[in-house]
Each structure stands twice: as structure tokens, then as C-alpha cells.
Amino acid sequence: MKIIVCIKQVPDTETQIKIAPGGAAIVTDDIKWVMNPYDEFGVEEALRIKEKLGGDVTVVGLGPKRVTESIRTALAMGADKGVLINDPALDGSDSLAVSKALAAVIKGLEFDIIFTGQRGIDEDQGLVGACLADLLGIPQVSLAVKVEVAADGKSVKINRPVEGQTLVVEAGLPVLITAQKGLNEPRYASLPGIMKAKKKPLEEKTLKDLGLDPAEFGVAGRRLKIMQITPPPARAAGRIVQGETPQEKAVELARLLHEEAKLI
């Protein structure tokens, strides 16, 4: 079974995000970067399928040199090889451009299943999986919480949540699956895995290597443009309800909810 996992590097959820001058980007200095959590589910599921059915797992990432760290994390978990698409012209690319670059790499690889996260936790678009499947001409099933590969290795059943129920979808291979929380519990990389990851192959490719036009990428090539980023409104200070007794406090709370908050 040939499996590809596409990963993205995103700011750690505990990182304090600051808006850059101009209001259309964030300040990237001093940010801790990690593998997108939804992509981790994809890596773990790929490894479980490999352990059950054999084959190999290739991890593909896009971005600056630092993305190598996240690819190495996947290799330490058990993936076999990695590919990094690194080109200055990619900086600021939208989801469609990212999908084009990923597709250009993947078309040169053998694959039965492609995993991506159902969305990136940074821009929260959820577009790359669908765009990539369309560019490759293969079916896509989103929000997988369970994946079962048929014994003959020709099809796959995916469980996905829908309106509080479970929808079971079957698709022939090759297929692209977007991973959702609940699919699995990603493993931690072991020390031996970390040591082995240093020796596993990791290719680096540019847009020129892939035969792509840099003019279609970056901020200038965006079809979907970010106009403005605004922080959430400041939370109002809390109030302490005054009163000598619990009864007095209850009466005052009811008054505040009725007259000021307009909730009752």
C-alpha cells in the first residue's frame, strides 16, 4: 500500500498571535511552529494502515526550510521518506496555489491513498484536500473518523460524522481522505525513531524542479486575498454581585440580568 500524507506547519495553539503592520498578515517572529494537528491524525492513520497491510508512507510538506522539522517528526513517528517543496515564490500562496504545487509532486509518485488534515488551524479554510483531489482527478472523502481498507486493497470504507449520526462512504482507490479529530490518537516519536529519522531520505524541490510558473504563486498570484485581520474584541471586565446575604445577591443578580444584560 502506497500512502502519501500532506502536512502543513502552523503556529502552536499556545502562541500569542500578533497582527503585522498593514493588517493582512501576522508577525512570524518568535512563533513556535508545529505540525498541523489534523495532519497528525493523517500521519498516524497512514502508519496504522502500513503496519497492517505493508507498504510505505511518504510525507509531503510545503514551505520554508523550517517545515523540515515537521517532516522529520513524521519520519520519526514511522514514515519512510519526505519531500519538501521550498521556494521563496511560494510565500503568501493561497490554497489553490498550494494544491497545485502538492499535485505536481504527487503526480510523480505512486499512491493508493492520500491523507490531508480536514483543515489547517491557521487560516481555517479547509480547501486544500478538495482542490488537490480535483487536480489529481481522484475521489475525496472528508472528515474521516474511521478508515477501513478492503482485504483486496482495491477500496476503502470511511466513517464520517453528519448531523449527529455516522455516514459510511465507500470509494475505490486511489482516494484522498481528510482526517478529523477522533480518527485516532497520534503516537509520540520514540528515541530510536528520532535517530532513524535523521537517516531517512528527504528530498527538497523548487517550483522550477516541478515545472511550475512562479508567477502563479505567492501574494501576487492569490485568487483568494486576505483583506484584513482583526483581533477578537476585548472581553469586558467581570462584575461582582454585591449583597450581605445570598438572598440579596440573588435579587441583585436577577436585576442585573433583566435591566442591564437584557437576558431575562
Q: How many domains, the chain?
A: 2
Residue 57 falls inside a structural domain:
yes
Distance CA 230, CA 18 (A): 10
Question: Is a pLDDT exceeding 90 seen at residue 234?
Answer: no
- pLDDT band for position 26 (50/70/90)? confident
Over the stretch 166-191, which tens digit does the pLDDT of each residue have? 999 999 999 999 999 999 999 999 99
Residues 6+ apart with CB under 8 A from 132: 6, 99, 102, 103, 106, 114, 116, 140, 176
Contact present, 189 and 73 (Cβ < 8 Å):
yes
Q: Is 191 helix (H, G, I), strand (E, B) or coil?
A: helix
Helices 95-106 and 128-136 cross at an angle (nearest 10°) of 40
For residues 53-86, one letter each, b for 16 or more C-beta atoms within 10 angstroms of the residue's C-beta and e for the rest, the string is eebebbbbbbbeeebbebbbbbbbbbbbbbbbbb
Over the stretch 69-81, which tens digit does the pLDDT of each residue have? 999 999 999 999 9
Assess whether 241 and 145 both reside in one domain: no
- pLDDT band for position 39 (50/70/90)? very high
Residue 229 falls inside a structural domain:
no
Residue 17 falls inside a structural domain:
yes
Assess whether 166 and 56 both reside in one domain: yes
* 129-136 CB contacts, 8 Å cutoff, 24+ apart: 129/176, 129/178, 131/95, 131/96, 131/99, 132/6, 132/99, 132/102, 132/103, 132/106, 132/176, 133/176, 135/99, 135/100, 135/103, 136/103, 136/106, 136/107, 136/174, 136/176
What is the residue type of 174?
P
pTM, two decimals, is 0.85
Assess whether 212 and 240 both reside in one domain: no
The CATH number that applies at residue 136 is 3.40.50.620
Assess whether 203 and 257 both reside in one domain: no
Residue 191 falls inside a structural domain:
yes
Please state, as a whole number, how many other Cβ atoms lie within 10 Å of the Cβ of residue 12: 12
pLDDT value of residue 87: 95
Assess whether 66 and 145 both reside in one domain: yes
Question: Is a pLDDT exceeding 90 seen at residue 232?
Answer: no
Question: Which residue, 248, 49, 42, is CA-closest to 145?
Answer: 42
Contact present, 64 and 86 (Cβ < 8 Å):
yes
Residue 147 falls inside a structural domain:
yes
Mean pLDDT of 196-216: 95
DSSP state of 209: T
Assess whether 60 and 113 both reside in one domain: yes
Question: Is a pLDDT exceeding 90 seen at residue 260?
Answer: no
Mean pLDDT of 43-52: 97
Domain containing residue 210: 2-221
Assess whether 107 and 33 both reside in one domain: yes
Residue 51 falls inside a structural domain:
yes
Residue 228 falls inside a structural domain:
no
Assess whether 135 and 263 both reside in one domain: no
Assess whether 186 and 249 both reside in one domain: no
Strand order in the sheet with 155-162: 146-149, 155-162, 165-172
Contact present, 122 and 15 (Cβ < 8 Å):
no
Question: Is a pLDDT exceeding 90 seen at residue 163?
Answer: no
Assess whether 263 and 133 both reside in one domain: no
Distances (CA, A) of 120 to 81, 108, 117, 192, 248: 22, 25, 7, 29, 49
Residue 226 falls inside a structural domain:
no
Distances (CA, A) of 31 to 8, 34, 70, 146: 15, 10, 14, 33
Assess whether 171 and 216 both reside in one domain: yes
Assess whether 36 and 148 both reside in one domain: yes
Q: Is 81 helix (H, G, I), strand (E, B) or coil?
A: strand
